[in-house]
Structure 1
């Protein structure tokens, strides 16, 4: 038994060492000499903000090792800048005493790289970038310490309205909305990251072209969400691949503030696809998600956006591995599950094919799992929900034309 424990521990130790290695260890041949770190004399937050204001395209701002208490948010609006700490467990920007409710760091410029530091206990979002093309988040930690609570900031890592987004080797804990959220953006890679104890682990919303892979989503309310919502400047979210992720024990209570869209996410859901198009879910490992491993759903609230389609369309679920789950459905799934005996199979579809004022549509779902992997169509038909009209069925839908898998995302900052 002792040998087995050592064998299991060795990969974990190696992973911890790799994540915690210093900037110097990762810097390879061809990396220029780094400038001196931001001074810790006087008010470090003021010194850092002054460096961000004075930065020029091509500069690297180096953060020293240590834990630094900041009371004011930071901002960067200069393109082509790298902000680099000594390691995500060595440089910690602590906003516990932050004044106001803003984010920790806001980036509004292109070609920015953020790496090797941590942001802790912001009153608002952890790190946000808006309109920042070719943004890179790498080897970062964003967390809210203590028990999950609705007063935590909404988003940990939050790129929005951007193109060519890379989020890799990032850890987020405790966000009251989503740990890693990418919204109204295109050409996105989220990989090799850990999200835990958030309401949503990873959320791709109203975005086009996203690869989400190699991540660990555990102990969130919902593991990975792909949504499309009405009445936003960018709509028709489509073409996302969710593959080779570990989606485990996402059974944390939902602690989102009332009124947030994710406040309706049932605790215990692995992946949720809502009103999005051309989403492929494959090669993932699901285990111990108590409500459902994969939930495919229409947008259920009234809307006035004439261009909005609330149905999930061209969804492919294939080649995943499923452990235990579905044995204790929560939230809106609880009464529906009770109507069929109390438990849910790994893959659940609400069965909605139309909405008020629209004709029924072919949603073209492909459930490509082995026959023994359970599937349930609740047979809702249309919202608003009429429990008396439910027609639950284990029969898998027949796809009219299996949708082609989106091409792999290629980012210019990785060339």
Structure 2
């Protein structure tokens, strides 16, 4: 019997049941004419578009504001500027070419879907970002975003966010990227064609990522330097690597821990790696289902992991991971990794030479489901006899077999809005924006902060000017996108902070 053929219908049926399967050929923008019958708009309820039984909510606006309607041909950013806390911006189906920056609290950006037609934000391959938010209590929903160079939706130190029901295609570095936020939901999105991570959670806490489909990207869903995250019921296929839990050295927050990967479909993640040369994700071998690098307390449970040609699960420390530098303040060892029952089949059928060599050290052959390399502490596994493994012979037997008692790590009450004092503007902008592409000493999308410090030394004004209008300086790094949506005071503050920061 061909196990792979047997599993394909199962996967499709299961993904439909979870509400997350879309054929690639059908994920296309559909436009309508600029003339709209808006007579019913006042009664439009965006919550009707959600499956309330599956959705999580963290945004509870203290005040109910007014609704701003953006018609095809109007400016979304103009509506944002006119909005006050508590307001909703409804975007009618049409074509929009702009970057939207939200630096206010309690704003909802809701695309109105009419007969399958959505509001389409098209960067034309020229604009860097579609939606940037630094406000708290932000909702971004029902949009189609494509052809941006940097990010589809990026959060910059905003708490209590909901990003759902968006289709994001070919937006450069990241599709959905909440950075330095607390208490957030990323669900029911379809994201593809991303050169780093389709969904990337960076330096954040209390996050729920569920019911998304991510494909044709280097990394599917990545939890990096973050804590208390659940990633569940996602369809992750045809990426280079499916699910990632990383500690990236050189970032200001040094830990990743308390992460649950459960009930996901992780299938055929064999796409050739097209990440930026030298970046952390460019070291992921094609055919990786789940990759855990130095992260602690990661539970892998109830997933269907099939057809990943290198391995179903790889666990590594920093010493054995490519394209990483050692950070003396980061623990390089993955501790307390817990592998529970997962359906694993047809993995490791075309694995890399390093994996074959590891198998030989344990006098094993076959196609590896689970590979562990480097140091580790206090990890466990159940039903290990079901899998072909290497490096886990000394792991204990886990004393539990499910996480049924854990529904979510989202907080019962919203996190208070982040109040940023003038003297902290530079630090918050650095953490929320710059560290998305720059570590202190290692390589990410952009050069290390140490190199930037050497170039500008005592010239923060020159760095601030570069931040607003960057030019390509190095062939081995992509061109930096302009950050001119930041006001002049913030640009100077972040330049001054970046030049004095030390790891």
TM-score range, shorter chain: 0.7 to 0.9
The one of 337, 347, 368 equivalent to 1:325 is 347
Equivalence for 2:174: 155
Conserved in 1, the CA contact under 8 Å of 2:238 and 2:267?
Answer: yes
SS in 1 for 2:177: strand
Q: Comparing 325-334 with 282-291, which one deviates more in the overlay?
A: 325-334
Conserved in 2, the CA contact under 8 Å of 1:212 and 1:241?
Answer: yes
Matched, 1:37 2:69: yes
For normalisation by structure 1, the TM-score amounts to: 0.79
Matched, 1:308 2:335: no
Q: Give the whole-Å Cα distance in 1 for the aligned partners of 2:131 and 2:223.
A: 21
Shift of 1:98: 4.7
Q: Give the whole-Å Cα distance in 2 for the aligned partners of 1:400 and 1:370.
A: 10
* Matched residues, number: 369
The one of 48, 58, 68 equivalent to 2:86 is 58
The structure whose residues are more often strand, as a share, is 1
Shift of 1:39: 2.9
Matched, 1:290 2:309: yes
**Taking structure 1 as reference, are residues 337 and 219 closer, same or farther at Cα in structure 2, changes over 3 Å only?**
farther
Q: Give the whole-Å Cα distance in 1 for the aligned partners of 2:15 and 2:324.
A: 49
SS in 2 for 1:62: strand
Matched, 1:367 2:381: yes
**Taking structure 1 as reference, are residues 412 and 54 closer, same or farther at Cα in structure 2, changes over 3 Å only?**
farther
Shift of 1:134: 0.3
Shift of 1:299: 1.2
The one of 392, 395, 404 equivalent to 2:393 is 395
Conserved in 2, the CA contact under 8 Å of 1:177 and 1:198?
Answer: yes
**Taking structure 1 as reference, are residues 54 and 268 closer, same or farther at Cα in structure 2, changes over 3 Å only?**
same
Equivalence for 2:372: 349
For normalisation by structure 2, the TM-score amounts to: 0.66
**Taking structure 1 as reference, are residues 283 and 171 closer, same or farther at Cα in structure 2, changes over 3 Å only?**
same
Equivalence for 1:141: 167
**Taking structure 1 as reference, are residues 413 and 213 closer, same or farther at Cα in structure 2, changes over 3 Å only?**
farther
Conserved in 2, the CA contact under 8 Å of 1:329 and 1:337?
Answer: no
**Taking structure 1 as reference, are residues 341 and 280 closer, same or farther at Cα in structure 2, changes over 3 Å only?**
closer
Gaps of 5+ in 1: 145-151, 354-361, 378-393
Conserved in 1, the CA contact under 8 Å of 2:233 and 2:262?
Answer: yes
Equivalence for 1:356: none
The residue correspondences of 1:108-127 to structure 2 (distance < 5 A) are 108-127=134-153
Return the structure number with greater relative CO, CA threshold 8 A, min gap 6. Answer: 2
Q: Comparing 205-214 with 332-341, which one deviates more in the overlay?
A: 332-341
The residue correspondences of 1:203-214 to structure 2 (distance < 5 A) are 203-214=222-233
Shift of 1:84: 0.3
Conserved in 2, the CA contact under 8 Å of 1:275 and 1:312?
Answer: yes
Conserved in 2, the CA contact under 8 Å of 1:337 and 1:344?
Answer: no
Shift of 1:40: 2.7
SS in 2 for 1:345: coil
Conserved in 2, the CA contact under 8 Å of 1:274 and 1:299?
Answer: yes
Matched, 1:194 2:174: no
Matched, 1:299 2:318: yes
Q: Comparing 336-345 with 216-225, which one deviates more in the overlay?
A: 336-345
Q: Give the whole-Å Cα distance in 1 for the aligned partners of 2:218 and 2:243.
A: 10
Q: Give the whole-Å Cα distance in 2 for the aligned partners of 1:78 and 1:258.
A: 36
Give the RMSD, CA atoms, in angstroms.
3.6
SS in 1 for 2:154: strand
SS in 1 for 2:79: helix
